[in-house]
Structure 1
Amino acid sequence: MIDHNRSKTSHRHYWKRWKEDGDLDARKQLIEHYLPLVDFVSSRMAVGLPKNVTKDELASSGAMGLIDAIEKFDYERGLQFETYASWRIRGSIIDGLRQGDWVPRSVRDKAKKMEDAYTALEQRNLRSATDEEVSDYLNISVKEFQQMLQEVAVTTLCSLEDPIREEESETRLSLLVDDKAINPESTVHDTYLKEALALGIERLTPKERTVVSLFYYEDLSLSEIAEVMSLSPSRISQLHSKAILRLRAALSKQKDQLLQK
């Protein structure tokens, strides 16, 4: 990966030349310097995707996300570009996959049914739903439930630019955007979002929380997490899928409550 401290010092002049002078050579230097981010993100996202999706395809979409990030990044705010760019790259890859119709409608329907099951059970019981409870709710066996988790794993690759609900245009990113102005409505939405995520994380099992932490905060791939936790990659994929389905359910429930207020 990129040396963050070195990036800040040795490339600040490129940012200055690009943002203040429109120097295209400086822009090219920034793109070339941060290209390893595209390879890093696409390699992580390639795990668990269908075999017909190549890493080159992911990297191609990711490169567009990197360029977009360089276009929009405000280097004077003192934020970490790598973090910002990683989300943009990830979002661009997911957009590319979505446009390619890579997930069958039947798989999305299964993911929605599982998400609804978690919402109903955890709202009723005020605790994490077990695999057995979800299986009973869906009227399937635990083995069939485990198979469904494997099938929907590809749908749990989330982007902040995904809509909170499929039929709506409002995205998760819209709840987090800083317009450099005090906006009471945005503050309320942001507060409720944090509360919903906190509650959702509390209801994850210890193993699910570990997977989420290692994947999203420690930047480990699912294969690396499998080694750390001494579990199979398929088991890690299942834990990740369940965690994301629970968190999506928490966000959807919070969205419904906000609309009723």
Structure 2
Amino acid sequence: MENGVLKDYTDIFFNAEETLTREKRQELIIRYTPLIRYVVEKMSARLPGHVSCDDLMSAGVIGLMDAVEKFDPSKNIQFKTYAEFRIRGAILDELRNLDWIPRSIRRKSSELEQTYKRLEKELGRPAEDEEAANALGLDMEEFYKLLEETRCVTFMDIDAIRRRLPDGNDEDIFDLIAGDGSADPFEQLKLTDIKRLVVDAIESLPIKERLVLSLYYYEELTMKEIGEIMGYTESRISQLHTKAILRIKAHISDNAGHALYDIA
């Protein structure tokens, strides 16, 4: 780590003319171990306390090892980008295996998603908090409590997009990340459709929710840091994030037949 940013070692370790030796693989894993902790800390901030960070770290190591084995240096992406993708996917798989979300919370999250979907159809725009609360028969305090309860369900699982692609193979993952047009034209068209669907969903969000997603996923700020920028509490930012993801899932589900991603 340099000033909190992990240096990228793609050019150092991956040479098209050389095969990674066992020693280089081990060194690469050691150098990128800080990336695992970074991903775990970012994800654990939205998980209940009983979920063990040690278990997530172990899953992240598996994801990093998988990235080392499957990375293709001929693709136009950095290893760090691909490794973070694999680490996150391995952690999400571990969370699924733990089955840590109560069925009651899953049911509430699904009800929220369906409510947003129905209201957007009826209103022709994103629903306000008061409108969503009224549709659910809740007062505002109960509604915000519901958002807080269901926030842990709203992980965006990129790996689930891969499972909707033909064969779900690693070539598709690289093409999805890199967007370099190297895939078969028909497969590239499907990738473009998926990207367009996600972009449309994000563009349909209220501006505050779009800003939260941008600061969280692109600027990689914490909920607390975003709150300081926007003048809201960390809890309020978490609620905005939850609403944004629920709206995106509802939008995609409505336009693709079913949600592309789900932690369940």
* TM, length-normalised to structure 2: 0.84
User: Aligned partners of 1:173 and 1:62: how far apart in 2?
Assistant: 24
Aligned to 1:170: 164
Q: Which moved more, 1:32-41 or 1:172-181?
A: 172-181
Give the AA of the match of 1:43.
E
In structure 2, the residue matched to 1:129 is: 127
| CA spacing shift, 1:231–1:54, aligned 2, 3 Å | farther
Residues in 1 aligned to 2:200 and 2:33: alpha-carbon distance in whole angstroms: 36
Contact preservation (8 Å) 2:8, 2:80: no
Q: How does 1:81-230 map to 2 (within 5 A)?
A: 81-162=79-160, 170=164, 174=168, 177=173, 178=175, 180-184=182-186, 186-230=187-231
| Preserved CA contact (<8 Å) 1:128 1:203 | yes
Residue 256 of structure 1 is matched in structure 2 by: 257
- What's the RMSD between the two structures over aligned residues? 2.8
CA pair 133-69 structure 1, distance change in 2 beyond 3 A = same
Distance, in Å, in 2 between the alignment partners of 1:29 and 1:173 is 32
Partner of 2:23: 25
1:65 has 2:59 as partner? no
**1:202 Cα deviation from its structure 2 partner:** 2.2
Q: Distance in 1 between matches of 2:61 and 2:109?
A: 29
SS, match of residue 42 in structure 1: helix
Distance in 1 (alpha carbons) for counterparts of 2:117 and 2:224: 29
Aligned residues: 249
- Which residue, 80, 89, 92 being the options, matches 2:78? 80
Does the 8 A contact of 1:121 with 1:129 survive in 2?
Answer: yes
Distance 1:152 1:171 in 2: 28
Instruction: Report how far residue 41 of structure 1 moved.
Output: 0.7
Query: Which residue identity lines up with residue 136 of structure 1 in the other structure?
Result: N
TM alignment of 1:33-44, pairs within 5 A: 33-44=31-42
Distance 1:136 1:150 in 2: 17
Correspondence for 1:12? 11
Give percent identity, aligned residues only. Answer: 38
In structure 2, what residue type is equivalent to 1:217?
A: Y
CA deviations over 1:90-116 (Å, ceiling 9, x no partner):
111111111111101111111111111
Structure 1 239/173 Cα, relative in aligned 2: closer, same or farther at 3 Å? farther
Cα separation, 2, equivalents of 1:238 and 1:173: 36
Runs of 4+ in structure 1 displaced over 6 angstroms? Answer: none
Query: Paired residue for 2:244?
Result: 243
TM-score, length of structure 1 as denominator length: 0.84
How big is the shift at 1:56? 2.1
Gap regions ≥5 residues in structure 1: none
Query: CA separation in 2, counterparts of 1:5 and 1:151?
Result: 33
SS of aligned partner of 2:65? helix
Q: Residues 187, 181 of structure 1: CA spacing in aligned structure 2 closer, same or farther, 3 A cutoff?
A: closer
Task: Give yes or no for contact 1:163–1:172 (8 Å, CA) kept in 2.
Answer: no
In structure 1, distance between residues paired with 2:138 and 2:167: 35
Specify whether residues 173 and 147 from structure 1 end up closer, same or farther in structure 2 by C-alpha distance, changes over 3 A only: farther
- Give the match's secondary structure for 2:15: helix
- Tell me which of 35, 38, 43 is aligned to 1:45: 43
Larger mean Cα displacement after TM superposition, 194-203 or 214-223: 194-203
User: Is the partner of 2:164 in helix, strand or coil?
Assistant: coil
Q: Secondary structure at the match of 2:159?
A: coil
Which amino acid in the other structure matches residue 16 of structure 1? N
Report the CA distance between 1:215 and its aligned residue.
1.0
Secondary structure at the counterpart of residue 75 of structure 1: coil
Distance in 2 between residues matched to 1:123 and 1:131, nearest whole Å: 16
Q: What does the per-residue CA deviation read over 1:116-156, in whole Å, with 9 as the maximum and x for residues that have no partner?
A: 11111112222111111111222222221111111111111
Q: Write the distance in 2 (CA, Å) between the matches of 1:173 and 1:198.
A: 24
